[in-house]
Amino acid sequence: MALWKRGKQYWLDVVIHGHRYREPLNTTDWREATRLERERVEQLERRAKVPTADSRAYAALPVVAAITAYAEERRAQVSKRMAAYWLENAKPLGAFFETTKLRQINPAQLADYQRARTDAGISPKTINGELSVLRQVLKHARLWHRFVDDYKPLKNYKPPIGQALTVEQQEQLFAMAKTRPAWLYAYVAATLSFYCGMRACEIKGLRWRDIEFDKALLYVRRSKTPAGWRSPTLNTTCLDVLRYLHDRASKLQFTEPDHFVFPWHGRGKKIDPTRGMISWRTAWRSIRREAGLNEVRFHDGRHTAITTLAEKGLPDWVIQAQVGHVASEMMKTYSHIRREALNQAAAALEPPKSAAPKAPTPPSGQPADETPEQLCHSPRHNSTLPTGRVLKFAREIGSSGWTRTSNPPVNSRMLYH
């Protein structure tokens, strides 16, 4: 993108969507040319890309078929989880748009979809996620330019549900978690979540080759995104529970490097170490119910870990290296200021005793505690004021005689005459 001068006039030379535009701006002023260039580029970027045979084929498909084809085309470029996410969101989109083709969708239909899903009690975050999948397919079909100026995602007014547990709550939770052998895997997983900051998907993907006990290192090679790949240091608590799990697995000869730390459990106590555990949801629900912490989610362990690191004063880059990539704007969501830190902040703001302001004391003969009505009609407010030349003069011209009011007849000039 560049401006160039031809004679005395400025010209625009820019490439947008693979097409080159060389146009006169019809001005000799540099500042005016810069402004016109910016406006023209924004106008050209809003234009539709030149359709291709592939994009035209997508535009002729119904919504579900288009999303399915898009997921299959991108399967080698994205994770299985992302492809499954696209297909899962295709269900509500297909139920609403039915056989409508992509090229037949208009902005009003997107607004109708938002209202219909909102009326069904679906959260704004879920609705925005569903339409984000449709947006990707429309962009691939080179049709999104029709919606850019009209589509507005729903605002989420719900407060975040994540929380950071206090030390007492953590002790209560883990004291209950280790009381039953059936809760062992949920107990170890919670330990890695609260005291290593790991996500549930990272814990499920752990293999024995990812742990170096002698170096106290753990390698995360399966995460929400590649940005979550890391090698955090394990503290003593995490090492102890993983060693205990390793000793139990060695009795069953389930400690091969490719074996999962959390193996798959089936019916009849069948265990397959070559497959990862699907979930420990039942055990986790039982633990938190018995501990009296029904509102605690498993992911709150990660919230607690990040909050603890932030309260210790560690810089953001160290926190990200330990618990995985956390965007700067997401630090506000994951880092919660717990009550202990707020109590410390209040104590830090306490002034020295020598400089501390003292509470006002009532005059002698007056009660210490009075209601607002008593304060308004207190005798000391209605006491007889000393009469004098100034107050008599004020009353003569219609003033109340009070010197503390903003009555215009009573001003500084009157008071000193």
At residue 269, the pLDDT reads: 80
What number of residues does the chain have? 417
Task: Give me the pLDDT at residue 417, please.
Answer: 44
Encoding tokens for residue 295? 């509102």
Residue 4: predicted pLDDT = 78
Tokens standing for residue 224: 């929400």
Q: Is 199 exposed, middle or buried (0-12, 13-18, 19+ CB in 10 A)?
A: buried
Q: What is the pLDDT of residue 412?
A: 46
What confidence score (pLDDT) does residue 234 get? 93
Q: What is the pLDDT of residue 393?
A: 47
The predicted pLDDT at position 168 comes to 93
pLDDT, position 41: 84
pLDDT at 390: 46
CB distance 223 to 199 below 8 Å: yes
Question: Could you say which residues of the chain have pLDDT below 50?
Answer: 372, 375-376, 378-391, 393-394, 403, 405-417
> What residue spans define the domains of the chain?
2-46, 53-146, 167-341, 384-417
- Reported pTM: 0.62
pLDDT of residue 413: 46
167-341 has the same fold as 53-146: no
Q: Which CATH architecture has domain 53-146?
A: Orthogonal Bundle (1.10)
In the CATH hierarchy, which fold is given to the domain comprising 167-341?
hpI Integrase; Chain A (1.10.443)
